[in-house]
């Protein structure tokens, strides 16, 4: 039996520049000649440019990258017509969880109200209930967004439209996507001499393994206890933000020191990277702990 409610999931992402494929000018000398401007999304004097200043929303789900914030809008539509008074829905509930490679059982996601949904928890006939969710993608691999909708459906009979009892109904929809790495980090730790504590040189090679350009705004260290460091890119480091085209590599160096000498090996730091996509989408990557031998 068909449900009275339907669910649509829309991903929230930044628009991109619209592209165009200019056609060459023809000289057939008949009505078959088509002006080159007719094939352009944004006719201009420079007809050879494939990019336009127009913004376009993605036609499909698009790629998801590790470090980005995955955001969606859940649109729950009441398919009953306003004139249909023989049936009503109430006690509408929406729950969402994200299944990740490290947690197949799923991580519950917090849903935020949109617009007047906080005042009207149940959608009226022909209306829509909207919720938004956001989750930071921290690992590559297949992810599944599972959304469960439950509600009470009440049938009304007779001239007085008396309720004949409510029936609990529920349905679930799954949306699968793959989180891809956009930056790959290779690191190397080398010990150097120091008068007081120990000192190391930490080298990090940051490679753009994605399909588009990336702006690396900041590279720094999250140091362990008793660890001081200098170098990097961005606020604390002297170097400015760098632009990495696909397969470009940027090498960053840090000097790491102990405040006091400790025996044995120890965890030094994690490499933290703040980056933006070509259209300004924010992302952050955190590596595992880098350790030094005793």
Q: Where are the domains of the chain?
A: 5-12+59-180, 183-292
pLDDT, one tens digit for every residue, the chain (294 residues)? 789 999 999 888 888 777 777 777 777 766 777 777 777 777 776 666 677 778 877 777 777 899 999 999 999 999 988 887 788 888 999 999 999 999 999 999 999 986 554 556 788 889 999 999 999 999 999 999 999 999 998 887 755 556 566 789 999 999 999 999 999 999 999 888 766 668 899 999 999 998 888 999 999 999 888 888 988 887 654 557 899 999 999 999 999 988 777 766 788 899 999 999 887 889 999 999 998 876
pLDDT given at position 294: 63
Q: Report how far apart, in Å, the C-alpha atoms of 65 and of each of 6, 17, 103, 183 are.
A: 29, 19, 18, 9
Report phi then psi at 252, rounded to 5.
Answer: -120, 140
DSSP 8-state code for residue 262: -
Question: What are 48's two structure tokens?
Answer: 């050879």
Q: Distance between CA 161 and CA 227 in Å, rounded? A: 73
Neighbouring C-beta atoms of residue 200, cutoff 10 Å: 21
Say what the pTM is. Answer: 0.76
pLDDT of amino acid 260: 75
**pLDDT value of position 115:** 59
Query: Considering only CA atoms, which of 72, 65, 133, 75 is closest in space to residue 284?
Result: 65
Say how far apart CA 197 and CA 268 lie, in whole Å: 13
State how far the Cα of 279 lies from the Cα of 264, in Å rounded to an integer.
Answer: 46
Annotate 103-141 with b (16+ C-beta within 10 A) or e (fewer).
eeeeeebebeeeeebeeeebbebeeebbbbbebebeebe
Q: How far apart are CA 87 and CA 165, in angstroms?
A: 11
* E strands in 38-140: 51-56, 64-65, 69-78, 87-100, 103-109, 112-113, 128-136
Say which CATH topology domain 183-292 has.
Immunoglobulin-like (2.60.40)
Domain 5-12+59-180's class? Answer: mainly beta
DSSP 240: P
Q: Tell me how crowded residue 2 is: count the other CB atoms within 10 A of its CB.
A: 5
| C-alpha torsion 166→110→117→3, nearest 10 | -40
């Amino acid at each position: 039996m068909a449900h009275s409610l339907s669910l649509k999931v829309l991903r929230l992402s930044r628009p991109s520049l619209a592209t165009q494929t200019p056609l060459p000018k023809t000289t057939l000398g008949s009505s078959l000649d088509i002006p080159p401007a007719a094939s352009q999304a944004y006719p201009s004097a420079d007809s050879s440019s494939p990019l336009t200043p127009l913004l376009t929303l993605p036609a499909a789900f698009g790629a998801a990258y590790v470090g980005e914030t995955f955001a969606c809008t859940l649109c729950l539509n009441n398919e009953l017509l306003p004139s249909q008074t023989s049936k009503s829905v109430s006690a509408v509930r929406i729950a969402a969880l994200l299944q990740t490679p490290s947690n197949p059982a799923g991580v519950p996601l917090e849903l935020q109200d949109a617009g007047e949904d906080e005042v009207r928890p149940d959608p009226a006939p022909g209306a829509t209930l909207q919720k938004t969710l956001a989750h930071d993608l921290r690992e590559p691999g297949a992810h599944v967004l599972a959304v469960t909708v439950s509600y009470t459906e009440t049938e009304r009979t007779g001239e007085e439209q008396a309720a004949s009892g409510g029936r609990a109904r529920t349905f679930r929809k799954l949306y699968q996507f793959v989180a891809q790495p956009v930056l790959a980090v290779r690191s190397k730790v080398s010990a150097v001499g120091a008068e007081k504590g120990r000192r190391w040189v930490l080298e990090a090679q940051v490679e753009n393994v994605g399909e588009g350009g990336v702006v690396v705004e900041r590279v720094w260290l999250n140091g362990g206890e008793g660890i001081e460091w200098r170098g990097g890119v961005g606020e604390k480091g002297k170097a400015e933000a760098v632009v990495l085209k696909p397969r470009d590599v940027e090498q960053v160096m840090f000097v790491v020191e102990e405040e006091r000498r400790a025996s044995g090996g120890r965890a030094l730091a994690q490499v933290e990277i703040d980056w933006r996509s070509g259209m300004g989408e924010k992302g952050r990557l955190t590596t595992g702990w880098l350790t030094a031998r005793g």
